[in-house]
Amino acid sequence: MQKRNSELDNFCQNSWQLRTLHAIRKCRTAAMGGHIDHCNNPSCGKLHLSYNSCRNRHCPKCQGHKREEWIRAREADLLDVPYYHLVFTLPAELNQLALYQPKLLYSLLFATAWSTIQTFAADPKYLGAQSGMIAILHTWGQNLSLHPHLHCILPAGGVTPSQKWKRSKGKGKFLFPVKAMSKVFRARMVEQLRKKSDLDQSIYDKLFKNNWVIYAKRPFSSPKYVVEYLGRYTHKIAISNHRITNIDEQTITFKYKDYRQAGKSKTMTISHAEFIRRFSQHILLKGYTRIRHYGILSSTLKKKIIPKLQATIGSLKSADQKPIMHRICPICKKGKLTTLVSFSGRAPPIQFIEKLLRNKLSVI
């Protein structure tokens, strides 16, 4: 039964990958239909003809406004306390499982990372309180190789049973001991894999051959930097357009950082087929949640706990929010755009174009 379920998941994944690649190919082209917007600034009044986006979360053109909307929603949850960044990485020995049973492996990665954090947070020696976590799944390395890992943001403290805030004991240096967490994370991850996967015994031997290392960055200096940082990670995709430097009839060249050489910038040239193969590895199953909230930052608890904590220890004071950039006129940079008409064909309705021309209005 487990093998049949795996085969079904593979079929669904391959189908979804093809649909995703097709959507990205058509994004912001006439095939998607479009809309005509009007700038409400009296000194501008320009009209803008725009083609629709595909809105696929793997598309490099569609993440900007989604990222900004998500960050604005998260600002309301921030506390005036330091925040830590941890990275839980899976070893290369599990890449084969990531290709054929991604849902199983990535779900175990989320659950095990949070289980590890919970254990250390509950220990009075380290904190003795309930923590919270925002976890973001990335599956790629800089060269588009398979490299599954979680970026986790945690506040420097937790909530006691009496709903009081308790600061971490790390004194700004660390949240919990990284080496101890790494051992617990590896042991629990392997334990769950033994129960829920059919990996060969030789794989388990390799998993214990090397240490697993949880990467811990220094704490953020203030909550506002957490927002900026999250903005770089939440809606990031395997590769963005600005990293692609050349495309010819046979190859694609892109920039990447080689972290084995202190992040030295390099370029790589591969065939079209190889580029698509690498990119497709990072197309997640349809509907799979890659950003998750836990503990006091989960949707069920934060509505009750966060307002109380913000009243006592403070919250992030953000500046007045401006309209999201994709709804601001690109000409005057001041007016808001209002949609006048939408169309689903390959061009706007001819009657509307004739009306615009009669009124001597510009279409941009």
Tens-digit pLDDT profile for residues 91-114: 999 999 999 999 999 999 999 999
d(CA 59, CA 42): 35
Q: What is the pLDDT of residues 2-40, one digit of tens each?
A: 454 554 455 456 788 899 999 999 888 888 888 888 888
The pTM (predicted TM-score) of the whole model is 0.85
What is the C-alpha to C-alpha distance for residues 4 and 167, in angstroms, rounded to an integer?
Answer: 48
What is the rounded (10 degree) CA torsion for 186, 189, 193, 195? 110
Query: Exposure pattern of 146-159 as b/e (b: 16+ CB <10 Å)?
Result: bbbbbbbbbbbbbb
In whole angstroms, what is the distance from residue 347 CA to residue 341 CA? 12
* Pair 173, 315: CB distance under 8 Å: no
pLDDT over 70 (residue 58): yes
Domain positions in the chain: 2-57+330-358, 77-238+288-313, 240-281
